[in-house]
Amino acid sequence: MGVAQEVANGKMDQHSNSIRVQETEALQATPAAIETRSLTRRFESLVAVNHLSFSCPHGAIFGLLGPNGAGKSTLIKMLTTLLPPSEGTALVAGFDIVRQPREVRRRIGYVSQMLSADGDLTGRENLLISAKLYGIPRSERAARIAEALDFMNLGSVAGKLVKQYSGGMIRKLEIAQSMLHRPSILFLDEPTVGLDPFAKQAVWQHIRDLRREFQTTLLMTTHDMQEADELCETIAFMHQGAVVRTGSPAELKAALGPAATLGDVFIDCTGAAIAEGGDLRDVARARVTSKRLG
């Protein structure tokens, strides 16, 4: 690479970093990273999300808990602009999901339960495709990919086919894909489902690192009460399309008694055991997810 090209790339990196700083400052000037306003979604006679209003602070790890069918997935689909609301709206990174969906999408990342990595490509090739889809300039792609691989401790396996990865490695790659464009807000749907305890702990640490290194706001769903207790500063319990209780893990447990667990809070909020709920589709999805990550 010539000197002129190196200088040009340096200027491009400085410009990109400047834009990132400006967007972060603008986001922090808004009251909350995520704010829903009577957000509602109906499917004919079924009200999946019912006039939901809550806010998620900047830089928080926010947990969304509840039984299957509570409306969590529908809520995330609306917040990520994948599903239009029937009524109400939300501000995500300061932009309206109904009126400004493109601006919202530019500032968020989304890691779903569905497989987003191609097993027949290497980890680096998967990241290159993601970089192109996110519109990252050609001059920045190699550096962004190298940074993502290093951050997620995947550099040594970047040239291997993803179908040779373990479940934890696949999940880390999917998180790396979602962070390439450096979003302000990251949505994680069951980030450690199907992972063994060692891989789960590794993903937990990377989630903490994302918040610390990039001031990323994270909203995650989980059925793992230990995971929520370990990671989340704030938890919102959903039941039948509504948020029924919100607070820090310590506050929620203390309200029930000195020996209470988050599992106790879950049962108190929803009236159901954690293992209950869901239909055949929910069970099938969980088993497919566990199998692909196993």
Instruction: Specify the pLDDT at position 18.
Output: 52
Instruction: Identify which of 174, 216, 251, 192 has the alpha carbon closest to the alpha carbon of residue 56.
Output: 216
Instruction: Specify the pLDDT at position 286.
Output: 47
Instruction: Specify the pLDDT at position 270.
Output: 87
Instruction: Identify which of 108, 69, 67, 112 has the alpha carbon closest to the alpha carbon of residue 90.
Output: 108
Exposed, middle or buried, 274 (CB in 10 Å: 0-12/13-18/19+)? middle
Higher pLDDT, 15 or 257: 257
Mean pLDDT over residues 50-54, rounded? 96
Mean pLDDT over residues 71-85, rounded? 96
Q: In this model, does residue 1 exceed pLDDT 80?
A: no
Residue-number span of the structural domain to which 114 is assigned = 3-293
Rounded to 10 deg, the angle between the 123-133 and 167-179 helix axes is: 30
Q: What is the CA radius of gyration of the chain?
A: 20
- Pull the structure tokens for residue 73: 């997935």
Instruction: Specify the pLDDT at position 283.
Output: 43
Q: In this model, does residue 152 exceed pLDDT 60?
A: yes
Full DSSP string of 35-50: EEEEEEEEETTEEEEE
Instruction: Specify the pLDDT at position 25.
Output: 52
pLDDT class for 29, splitting at 50, 70, 90?
Answer: low
Q: What is the pLDDT of residues 163-183, one digit of tens each?
A: 999 989 999 999 999 999 999
Instruction: Identify which of 231, 253, 222, 220 has the alpha carbon closest to the alpha carbon of residue 56.
Output: 220
Instruction: Specify the pLDDT at position 271.
Output: 82
Instruction: Determine the residue type at 192.
Output: T
Predicted TM-score of the model (pTM): 0.81
Total structural domains within the chain: 1
* Sequence-ordered alpha helix ranges (H) in 90-166: 101-106, 123-133, 138-151
Q: What is the pLDDT of residues 181-205, one digit of tens each?
A: 999 999 999 998 888 888 899 999 9
pLDDT class for 115, splitting at 50, 70, 90?
Answer: confident
Q: In this model, does residue 159 exceed pLDDT 90?
A: yes
Running DSSP on this structure, what letter comes out for residue 122?
B
- Tally of CA atoms within 13 A in the half-sphere of 166 that contains its CB: 13
pLDDT class for 287, splitting at 50, 70, 90?
Answer: very low
Instruction: Specify the pLDDT at position 232.
Output: 97
Q: What is the pLDDT of residues 233-257, one digit of tens each?
A: 999 999 999 999 999 999 999 999 9
Full DSSP string of 209-257: HHHHHH--EEEEE-S-HHHHHHH-SEEEEEETTEEEEEE-HHHHHHTT-
3-class secondary structure, 30:
coil
Residue 212 φ then ψ, to 5°? -70, -45
Q: In this model, does residue 130 exceed pLDDT 70?
A: yes
pLDDT class for 23, splitting at 50, 70, 90?
Answer: low
CATH code for the domain in which residue 238 is found: 3.40.50.300
% pLDDT > 90, the chain: 72
pLDDT class for 12, splitting at 50, 70, 90?
Answer: very low
Instruction: Specify the pLDDT at position 31.
Output: 76
Q: Determine the Cα–Cα distance for residues 137 and 37; give it in Å rounded to an integer.
A: 35
